[in-house]
Amino acid sequence: MEEGATFQYTLYNKKDKVEGVTDYIISAVENSGDNTTATMQFTFTDEKGKNIMESDYKITCTGEGIKIDYESLFPTQMKKQYEDMGMEMDITGTDIEIPNDLSAGQALDDANVNVSMDMGAMKMKINVDTYDRKVEKEESVTTEAGTFDCYLITEKSKSKVMMSNLETSNKVWISEGVGMVKQETYGKNGKLMSRMELTKFDK
């Protein structure tokens, strides 16, 4: 959580082909009492280098751990598009929390975001629930950015948009002083859908 720190994550599909790159920069760091809050700005470009999305969200470090703004689950650019259409939006949820003192077998709190949109005759709801989060083990992970000592966290996710439902499970490797190093997403059938790895890191 140092201003100016940069991270780059590369997204691969199930066939190990690059689908896009997300570049992050910590644009601001604010201190208030025992809390430190960092603003994470990011840009996602596709495999051809075309800018697809820009957004930002906040991460807060408390004396007990890290809290990630639940609104990070709903892209700012998408929110702006809906608002430009005259749609009123109400976003509520529970922040994603990662305690400082992780240990194998530890259960972590659930997180969710609920979006209600209203444009008169048109109403829509989006719900994303992240649950069954737990720390599996400690292990070393090597990516293009280096080798990191990590905790492996597993979790399940359920997204509901109107009548459409999507269920996935994730494996997330996080490292102290860095954050997420690697993530794998699996479908309901247990097959790998995509993975994302830290490919550049500078602070």
What pLDDT, in 10s, does the model give residues 64-91?
899 988 877 666 656 667 777 777 888 8
Q: Where are the domains of the chain?
A: 6-202
Mean pLDDT to the nearest integer, 10-18 = 94
What pLDDT, in 10s, does the model give residues 144-178?
999 999 999 999 999 888 778 889 999 999 999 89
Are the C-beta atoms of 26 and 39 separated by less than 8 Å?
A: yes
Residue partners of 13: CB distance under 8 A and separation at least 6: 19, 193, 194
Distance, CA of 75 to CA of 72 (rounded, Å): 6
Mean pLDDT to the nearest integer, 121-131 = 86
CB-based burial label for 107 (10 Å; 0-12, 13-18, 19+): exposed
pLDDT of residue 36: 94
DSSP secondary structure letter of residue 34: T
- Answer whether residue 98 shows pLDDT above 90: yes
Are the C-beta atoms of 43 and 23 separated by less than 8 Å?
A: yes
| 71-75, 121-125, 126-130: which is most confident | 126-130
- Answer whether residue 15 shows pLDDT above 80: yes
Q: How many helices (H) and strands (E) does the chain have?
A: 1, 14
- Answer whether residue 124 shows pLDDT above 90: no
6-202: CATH number: 2.40.360.20
Q: Which region among 2-16, 110-124, 182-196 has the lowest average model confidence (pLDDT)?
A: 110-124
Percentage helix, strand, coil for the chain under 3-state DSSP, each rounded to 5:
5, 70, 25
Q: What is the pTM (predicted TM-score) of this model?
A: 0.85
pLDDT of residue 71: 75
Mean pLDDT to the nearest integer, 13-29 = 94
